[in-house]
A and B are shown apart, each in its own frame.
Chain A
Amino acid sequence: SQKIEQNSEALNIQEGKTATLTCNYTNYSPAYLQWYRQDPGRGPVFLLLIRENEKEKRKERLKVTFDTTLKQSLFHITASQPADSATYLCALGYSSASKIIFGSGTRLSIRP
């Protein structure tokens, strides 16, 4: 079965720096990959989607890359702010299925 690993359980960085989160998967390459933000006790909030034929996507301070050779996606938040503190979830989707498969998430803390 597909296994998804997100780099570390927790990441602490200084405000203003770039946060880089990693999502690695095994086995089958997904047709698309999504990043969500989840705050404690809340539902996942969609941030970005990148497809298998795309290398990079940007939205404001967010950037996602997708390398199907390395089986890896990187998620960057530039000029990080304390309000960016949350858990970030990587989710994989396949064209043959409607479900998405979530990683366990990385808890990001931005200290002032």
Chain B
Amino acid sequence: EPEVTQTPSHQVTQMGQEVILRCVPISNHLYFYWYRQILGQKVEFLVSFYNNEISEKSEIFDDQFSVERPDGSNFTLKIRSTKLEDSAMYFCASSEGTARRSYQETQYFGPGTRLLVL
């Protein structure tokens, strides 16, 4: 069964460093997302991406964050200058898109990247 994959599974970085989290969405999906979950808290939406541009973003997704689809299979989240409060589990998700409805509701999540900022 197709699934979303993410690398690395764990990342430790120093405050102020740049990190890039990578995702391979399900191959025929057209909508891509990033969510994060701080330890013990809710899963929070960061950004959605469709047709090579951001379609929606949350207040968390400030200028320190960016997303990119550098090729036909990868989807990345970059944090330019990490802060201690960026420590969290980051989940990539994808969903189908159709001509009739620009996105399909069901989002399939990857296993996550645990980011620790020291």
Contacts and interface: CB of A to CB of B under 8 A. Distances in A.
Contacts of A31: 105
Name the prevailing secondary structure of the A interface residues. Answer: strand
Interface in B67-110: 89, 91, 102-103, 105-110
Given A44-B43, A89-B43, A104-B42, A98 B112 contact: no
B33 A46 contact: no
A46 B45 contact: no
Given A98-B48, A99-B58, A44 B109 contact: yes
Contacts of B43: 38, 44, 89, 91, 102
A45 B107 CA distance: 9
A98 B56 contact: yes
B106 A44 contact: no
B111 A42 contact: yes
A27 to B, nearest CB: 17
A53 B54 CA distance: 30
A101 B106 contact: no
Contact of A103 (B4, B42, B55): B42
Contact of A99 (B48, B89, B91, B112): B48
Interface string A7-29: 00000000000000000000000
A9 to B, nearest CB: 11
Most buried by A among B41, B55, B105, B109: B105
Contacts of A49: 105-106
Contacts of B91: 43-44
Contacts of B111: 42-43
Interface of A: 31-32, 34, 36, 38, 41-46, 49, 89, 91, 93, 97-105
21 contacts: A32-B105, A34-B106, A41-B114, A42-B111, A43-B110, A43-B111, A43-B112, A46-B106, A49-B105, A98-B33, A98-B102, A98-B103, A99-B56, A99-B58, A100-B105, A101-B45, A102-B42, A102-B44, A104-B41, A104-B42, A105-B42
Interface of B: 4, 31, 33, 41-45, 48, 50, 55-56, 58, 89, 91, 102-103, 105-112, 114
